[in-house]
A = this chain, B = another copy of it.
Amino acid sequence: MKRREFLKIAGFTVFGSTFINPVSYINSKSITRSTSKMKLRFYPYTLELKHVFTVATASRRTTPVMMTEIEYEGVVGYGEASMPPYLGESHQTAADFLSKVDLSQFDDPFKTEEILAYIDSIAPGNPAAKASVDIALHDLIGKLIGQPWYKLYGLAPEKTPYTSFTIGIDKPDVVRQKVKEAEKFKILKVKLGLDNDKEMIETIRSVTDKPLRCDVNQGWKDKEYALRMIEWLATKNVELIEQPMPKEWIDEHAWLKERSPLPIIGDEAVQRLKDIRKAHGVYHGVNIKLMKCTGMREAYKSIILARAFDMKVMIGCMTETSCAISAAAHLSPLVDWADLDGAELISNDLFDGVKIIDGKVTLNNRPGIGIIKKQ
């Protein structure tokens, strides 16, 4: 689909890449009914990455996101769908999905359980598009109440974890440069799964002894090899291994979990709440991301479920603006490990929000998810 054709379908007016004029999606029903109705707006945006980003499966320089706004009685909640291309969602799929959303049937944004069940029922899949509604709704509710979400969750803001910062797969001199740029972060996350895993680790270890987390993104295709690699990594101050083998390899991961000296965390294998149960006995923990599990509400439930199974919990992200990162950050006092560097990887953030200060996820006292749109 050509760009002009897409904009026509979605009803957008877009000028350049950063100045955006969102157009309300108001169906005929909502125009004729009470003004105390929620109005959903959305517009596409493209995140520009500071560095070309390479993982075991792909390389890229941009990430398409869809920004949402829900307005109710003059208050606006912000949301975001981040859609790395390999996950199957796009500006087009998100626009198609969000065009089907009719919030005018709900008289009260506080009925989140009902509203989000409706959103989930509109179509299968589309987890990021669904999350963009969930996040905007949470931001709206927090603003209507005048409270930040960490307080509504009953959490202590000082209990936020330190986040890791991701070093993509690259040549040794670039990797060394990235490690230097990541000075403020206390923990690094290393992407593995190509044929230069040991080189990557040794390059990083030549310049820093910070704790590392290794994300293999399903890159290892042999369980014995995976175990040998993990045993080697365990001698290199590595904290955990994320998704070492293909997500469909249940028995192989269970086998590895029994033998691994490091915790094995399921990421691609764990998308929605229902996957947490399946991950029990297969992984030591799960990586929960708003863009996988449709947003804050299901993420909160997923954390509760994982804890009931005595599993470890990481909260992760895609490349995202400070909108979706801030939303995830409100849940972070509940987790063992945070990987919320998404907004640090981009050069054109739209929001001021939760900050990473000296490597620590740092919440503010603003209501909702705690963000302000940059002018």
Of the listed stretches A175-183, A191-199, A223-231, A273-281, name the one at the interface; the rest are far from the partner chain: A273-281
Instruction: Tell whether A16 is near chain B: CB-to-CB under 8 Å.
Output: no
Residues of B within 8 A of A159 (CB): 114
| Chain A 105-128 near chain B by CB (<8 Å), digits 1 or 0 | 000101111101000000000000
Instruction: Tell whether A145 is near chain B: CB-to-CB under 8 Å.
Output: yes
Known contacts A111-B156, A113-B153, A141-B154; can you find 20 more A-B pairs with CB under 8 A?
A108-B156, A110-B151, A110-B154, A112-B154, A113-B154, A113-B155, A113-B156, A113-B334, A114-B155, A145-B145, A145-B146, A152-B152, A154-B297, A273-B308, A274-B308, A277-B308, A301-B304, A304-B305, A305-B305, A305-B308
Residues of B within 8 A of A147 (CB): 145
Interface residues on A, range: 20 to 34
Residues of B within 8 A of A146 (CB): 145
- Give the docked Cα–Cα distance between A44 and B155 (Å): 31
Interfacial residues of chain A within 254-274, with CB under 8 A of chain B in the complex: 273-274
List the number of copies, as a whole number: 2
Residues of B within 8 A of A153 (CB): 113
Which of B151, B155, B301 is in CB contact (< 8 Å) with A308? B301
Residues of B within 8 A of A113 (CB): 153-156, 333-334
How far, in Å, is A335 (CB) from chain B's closest CB?
12
Residues of B within 8 A of A333 (CB): 113
- Give the docked Cα–Cα distance between A110 and B330 (Å): 14
CB nearest to A305 among chain B residues: B308
Given contacts A113-B334, A145-B147, contact A276 B156 (CB under 8 A): no
- Give the docked Cα–Cα distance between A110 and B308 (Å): 23
